């Protein structure tokens, strides 16, 4: 059957590049094209993995058994009401399109990820969070309304009050229940294109967490990078960055500072060296010895940064650290099935420090010290398959090499045990290892059964299933209830 949607055949991988498969990709650009794709799949018995910007690290956006439905080209409409600060957008509109459109009008997205390339439909499906998660929650908490198209092509407009169940199940539902085709979300009023930022160097994990805890009431953003190579007393040493929005009286020239041009990350280092080539140099350091050195150097540099006190930094430069060096992930290797996995561990505040220290120690002993560790504070939320809880997260990047792949996955599975035993959770956008039993333990059998009931109602034939979906919920979702 001839489809109006763009069609191609590609290698589709998670953002971490360590898993993927060749698949047909369909790119609908509107509701009619989407419905046509769904009808064709229903007739042909195919299934879809939903994909937006392709920014989930693992296999949430890939499928080895079906077709990839890529919503990123459906991105023409971005309406914004300056007075209310509410944006109404097509599903493929990215975080980047959003901030570039609303910043000159004095607003910034309430929640952004560490890269600006996720689509907002993807962000809603995975329920992304930012460096302000403990204050404003995940992105779901700023979504006011969405349209969701189910497997039969039927569109439902949902809010917290009209569809309380579906609203809280579809957000963070990882694309299992349907396709977001429109999102309405609130944004934050800002008075400057810059933030006030300062760095704080810490000697170990306890100090890192205590210092962050002490700033929860006043900071707008808090994020700590930690050195995962250092052991003993200094385990979890790091550098915290605290950001605070400027008050109207602190910005002399708001119009100039709110322009997009003032936000752009420089394309060259020292005006000469193209940043697009930097990953080649990072590649030379992408081994245990090199990364031990890089982490130690970063900790040392934190000392200098801390002495500087408060300084100003653009929103984009502060928020989108992952975009600072283009394609830096290629330093992990570009050939098939090399790359990285991220494992982000969410642990209730009472147990977080103990579990994180145990994981860091376990990683070092197994020779799997993470090359990049990031600590953030979170709060609980009402989404069914959420990762959010009143506690802390530790995000760890691990290098994937073909020879140690199986061993690494088994090792990460061990870390998962430590987290789940402490009542913690994992995050589907960062997950590559979770199994059916883990899901049950994390979210509870009853909640999964309710989710399964919704799945049967909206997608009785299992049209929407990514590789991750099959791994986490089982091939036969009905078995859950």
Partner 1 sequence: MKLGNHTRAIVVGASSGIGAALVEALVARGARVAALARREGELRSLEARLRPAGEASGARLVVRAHDSSRVDEVAPLFEELFEELGGVDLVVYAAAIMPKTAPDEYDTTRDLEQIAVNVGGCIAWGNAAARLDSSQRSGVLVGISSIAGERGRKGNPVYGATKAALNHYLEALRNRLAERGAHVVTIKPGFVATRMTAGMEKPLWLIAPEEAARQILSAVESRANERFVPCRWWMVAFVIRNIPSFIFKRLSI
Given a contact cutoff of 8 angstroms between Cβ atoms, the answer to whether 121 and 91 are in contact is: yes
Query: If DSSP states are collapsed to H, E and C, what string results for 135-171?
Result: HHCCHHHHEEEEEEECCCCCEEEEECCCCHHHHHHHC
Asked if 252 touches partner 1 (CB under 8 A), the answer is: no
CB of 11 to partner 1, least distance (A): 4
Return the C-alpha torsion angle 346, 352, 353, 358, nearest 10: -70
Asked if 7 touches partner 1 (CB under 8 A), the answer is: yes
Residues 82, 157, 259, 276: which binds partner 1 (CB under 8 A)? Answer: 276
CB of 276 to partner 1, least distance (A): 7
Burial grade of 261 (CB within 10 A; 0-12, 13-18, 19 or more):
exposed
Asked if 289 touches partner 1 (CB under 8 A), the answer is: no
Asked if 79 touches partner 1 (CB under 8 A), the answer is: no
> Considering beta carbons, is residue 234 or 278 the nearer one to partner 1?
278
> Considering beta carbons, is residue 12 or 197 the nearer one to partner 1?
12
Mode of pairing for the β-strands spanning 67-70 and 48-51: parallel
CB of 7 to partner 1, least distance (A): 5
> Considering beta carbons, is residue 29 or 315 the nearer one to partner 1?
29
Size of the site for partner 1 (CB under 8 A): 16
Q: What angle do CA 182, 187, 188 make, to 5 degrees?
A: 175
Residues 160, 247, 268, 334: which binds partner 1 (CB under 8 A)? Answer: 334
- Judged by CB under 8 A, the chain residues 10 through 29 that form the site for partner 1 are 10-13, 22, 24-25
Asked if 9 touches partner 1 (CB under 8 A), the answer is: yes
Asked if 275 touches partner 1 (CB under 8 A), the answer is: no
CB of 13 to partner 1, least distance (A): 8
> Considering beta carbons, is residue 326 or 423 the nearer one to partner 1?
326
Asked if 461 touches partner 1 (CB under 8 A), the answer is: no
- 224, 269, 222: which is closest to 375 by C-alpha? 224
Burial letters for 280-311: b for 16+ Cβ neighbours within 10 Å, e otherwise?
eebbeebeeeebbebbeebbeebeebeeeeee
Asked if 43 touches partner 1 (CB under 8 A), the answer is: no
* Alpha carbon distance 195, 240 (integer Å): 15
Contact string 103-122 vs partner 1 (x = CB under 8 A):
--------------------
Asked if 8 touches partner 1 (CB under 8 A), the answer is: yes
* Alpha carbon distance 140, 387 (integer Å): 12
The residue range among 6-14, 133-141, 186-194, 199-207 that interacts with partner 1, by the rule CB under 8 A, is 6-14
> Considering beta carbons, is residue 9 or 161 the nearer one to partner 1?
9
Asked if 218 touches partner 1 (CB under 8 A), the answer is: no
The residue range among 9-17, 185-193, 292-300, 367-375 that interacts with partner 1, by the rule CB under 8 A, is 9-17
Given a contact cutoff of 8 angstroms between Cβ atoms, the answer to whether 115 and 325 are in contact is: no
Asked if 195 touches partner 1 (CB under 8 A), the answer is: no
> Considering beta carbons, is residue 20 or 137 the nearer one to partner 1?
20
> Considering beta carbons, is residue 280 or 461 the nearer one to partner 1?
280
CB of 358 to partner 1, least distance (A): 37
Asked if 268 touches partner 1 (CB under 8 A), the answer is: no
- Judged by CB under 8 A, the chain residues 300 through 329 that form the site for partner 1 are 327
CB of 284 to partner 1, least distance (A): 18
CB of 416 to partner 1, least distance (A): 30
Cα 257 to chain centroid, rounded: 27
CB of 471 to partner 1, least distance (A): 22
How many residues appear in the chain? 481
> Considering beta carbons, is residue 8 or 162 the nearer one to partner 1?
8
- 140, 114, 131: which is closest to 57 by C-alpha? 114
Contact string 335-354 vs partner 1 (x = CB under 8 A):
xx------------------
> Considering beta carbons, is residue 22 or 461 the nearer one to partner 1?
22
The residue range among 5-13, 120-128, 386-394, 398-406 that interacts with partner 1, by the rule CB under 8 A, is 5-13
Which residues are near partner 1 by CB under 8 A?
2, 7-13, 22, 24-25, 276, 327, 334-336
């Amino acid at each position: 059957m001839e489809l109006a949607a763009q069609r191609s055949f590609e290698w589709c991988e998670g953002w971490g590049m360590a898993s993927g498969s060749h698949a047909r990709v369909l790119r609908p650009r509107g509701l009619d094209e989407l419905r046509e794709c769904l009808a064709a799949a229903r007739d042909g018995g195919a299934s879809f993995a939903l994909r937006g910007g392709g920014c989930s690290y693992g296999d949430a956006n890939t499928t080895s058994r079906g077709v990839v439905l890529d919503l990123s080209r459906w991105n023409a409409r971005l309406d914004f009401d300056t007075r209310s600060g509410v944006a109404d957008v097509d599903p493929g509109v990215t975080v980047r399109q959003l901030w570039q459109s609303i910043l000159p009008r004095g607003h910034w997205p309430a929640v952004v990820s560490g890269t600006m390339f996720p689509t907002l439909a993807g962000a809603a499906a995975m329920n992304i969070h930012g460096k302000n998660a403990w204050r404003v929650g995940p992105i779901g908490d700023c979504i006011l309304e969405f349209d969701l198209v189910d497997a039969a092509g039927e569109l439902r407009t949902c809010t917290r009050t009209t569809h309380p169940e579906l609203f809280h199940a579809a957000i963070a539902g990882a694309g299992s229940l349907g396709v977001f085709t429109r999102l309405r979300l609130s944004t934050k009023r800002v008075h400057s294109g810059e933030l006030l930022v300062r760095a704080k160097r810490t000697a170990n994990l306890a100090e890192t967490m205590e210092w962050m805890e002490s700033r929860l009431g006043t900071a707008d953003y808090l994020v700590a990078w930690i050195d995962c190579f250092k052991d003993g007393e200094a385990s979890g040493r790091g550098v915290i960055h605290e950001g605070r929005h400027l008050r109207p009286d602190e910005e002399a020239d708001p119009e100039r500072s709110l322009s997009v041009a003032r936000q752009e990350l420089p394309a060259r280092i020292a005006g000469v060296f193209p940043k697009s080539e930097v990953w080649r140099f990072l590649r030379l350091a992408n081994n245990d010895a090199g990364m031990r050195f890089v982490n130690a150097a970063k900790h040392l540099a934190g000392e200098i940064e801390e002495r500087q006190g408060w300084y100003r930094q653009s929103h984009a430069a502060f928020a989108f650290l992952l975009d600072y060096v283009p394609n830096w992930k290629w330093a992990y290797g570009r050939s098939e099935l090399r790359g990285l996995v991220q494992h982000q561990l969410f642990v209730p505040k009472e147990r977080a420090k103990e579990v994180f220290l145990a994981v860091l120690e376990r990683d070092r002993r197994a020779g799997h010290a993470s090359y990049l560790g990031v600590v953030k504070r979170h709060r609980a939320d009402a989404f069914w398959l959420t990762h959010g809880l009143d506690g802390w997260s530790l995000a760890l990047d691990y290098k994937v090499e073909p020879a140690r792949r199986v061993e690494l996955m088994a090792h990460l599975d061990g870390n998962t045990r430590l987290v789940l035993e402490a009542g913690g959770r994992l995050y589907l956008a960062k997950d590559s290892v979770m199994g059916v039993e883990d899901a049950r333990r994390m979210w509870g059998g009853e909640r999964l059964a309710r989710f399964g009931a919704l799945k049967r109602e909206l997608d009785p034939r299992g049209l929407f299933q990514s590789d991750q979906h099959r791994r986490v919920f089982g091939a036969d979702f009905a078995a859950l209830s």
